[in-house]
Amino acid sequence: MSIAHQVSGSVHPTIPSNWIYASKQFSTHSDAMNENIVIYRPMKETFSSKTTGDVIKIVVDSPSSFLRPQRSYLSGKITWYNADNTVNSTVNNADAGAMMHFLDATVRVSGKIAESIDNYGEHVSQQYAFESAARRKYLSHLEGVGRDDIFHTNGSFTFRHHVEFGVMQPTNGNPMPLCLLPGQAIELSFTLNSPHMAATNAATGAYFTVSDIRYVAQLVTPHADFLASAWEGIRKGHYLEYDYVATTQTFNNGNGATINQFIIPLANSRVVGLTHRFRDDSKYQANTGDKSLIYDTANLKSWRYQLGGWRLLLTEDFKIEDAMISGALSVNDNASYAAEDVDLDNYMTKKFTLRCSFQSSDKDVASALNLIGTDGNLRFVCEFSAPLPTTTALITSVFTHRTLLIGATVDII
């Protein structure tokens, strides 16, 4: 992209008349050619963890452009306060970084839920556990990952985060056609986590706010002939296809026995892979402690997957000793795991995660675990060396192929 054009001694973009945006959001244009940076904000300036049900909503819209979500990011300023409303500069950040301050997260496309994550902080902590060393350096700087001191200077930290929604990271790299959507908009929404979930030592009455929230988006305006052709196709009943891998979290609790069969509902899904973590809810609900470092083996001995009467992957059970290598060998044709900077010292005791991928990098979407037309009740059968308490939760992240069909309406398959 080129820089903004200089006009009359000051730097402002030259914006053609046909680039007027109907959005009620605040917008800043830095380039008026075919690529364009737009800043979208929620209607309210500051959100507080003291306000129950406070939802951050950001509408990303355009009547003339496509969104490149891979080149866009979310930012905001987090500030901690004591119970007496003085700034708190002693609070310690969680190992997973600033995104532990967020709970529910949802993306809606033309009003329809394309992806919804119940515990966004937990999801991010899992994703970041397997990042490369190079990306971890950026995450440390941009989000405070691996640092507990980001609030120690003045009680505030400004994060910049590439949102971890699959719909914002499409598998084929295509931009989101905002101007062709019914309503010409998508909506990002987040709720705030409780203080004792976001920080490791939040005192009674401490709280935080998130302000100056921006979604910095790169837009691209297609050629008029392309748009005319697309509109004509939609008028005739055709669809544009937008492929992505969505994340869904499921939660199950132990049954108090050494053998547990967890039912994971996957009906009519094209499953790319699964991850599993065990969470002791007494640690999770505690007022102190790092909630991104509470995932251990829960005394797991072995596990297997079953679909109906069939075992998947192996005719024998996986052993706990297989946990690291079985996950690594199943991820994207087992070529990518060498770049992962896994914390081996804490993997079994604080960051334990079981992973299984049903689709390697040389397969198309139809070659994933295709459960279209089935009841899709996958059984995750685990044996433990000690009874699994009912207060221990199994958190499963299911990664499935989805397609947005964009036409006169938006359908998700």
51-55: long-range pairs with CB below 8 Å, 24+: 53/191, 54/191, 54/192, 55/189, 55/190, 55/191
- Both tokens of 2, joined, read 């080129």
The whole model's pTM is what? 0.87
Q: What was the pLDDT predicted at 18?
A: 36
Determine the number of helices (DSSP H) and then strands (DSSP E) in the chain. 6, 23
Q: Which residues pair with 46 in a beta bridge?
A: 211
Q: What was the pLDDT predicted at 359?
A: 72
Cα separation of 93 and 208, whole Å? 12
Cα separation of 240 and 190, whole Å? 28
What is the 8-class DSSP label of residue 166? G
**Residues constituting the chain:** 413
Cα separation of 30 and 5, whole Å? 9
pLDDT for 12 beyond 50: no
Q: What is the mean pLDDT of the chain?
A: 86
Q: What was the pLDDT predicted at 364?
A: 55
- pLDDT tens per residue across span 72-99: 999 999 999 999 999 999 999 999 999 9
- Both tokens of 335, joined, read 């070529």
Q: What was the pLDDT predicted at 406?
A: 93
Q: What was the pLDDT predicted at 360?
A: 60
CB 148 within 8 A of CB 92: yes
Q: Which residues pair with 17 in a beta bridge?
A: none
User: Residue 329 phi/psi, 5° resolution?
Assistant: -75, -15
Of residues 12 and 197, more confidence is placed in 197
Q: Which residues pair with 208 in a beta bridge?
A: 80
**Which among 404, 407, 382 is positioned nearest to 393, based on CA atoms?**
382
pLDDT for 27 beyond 50: no
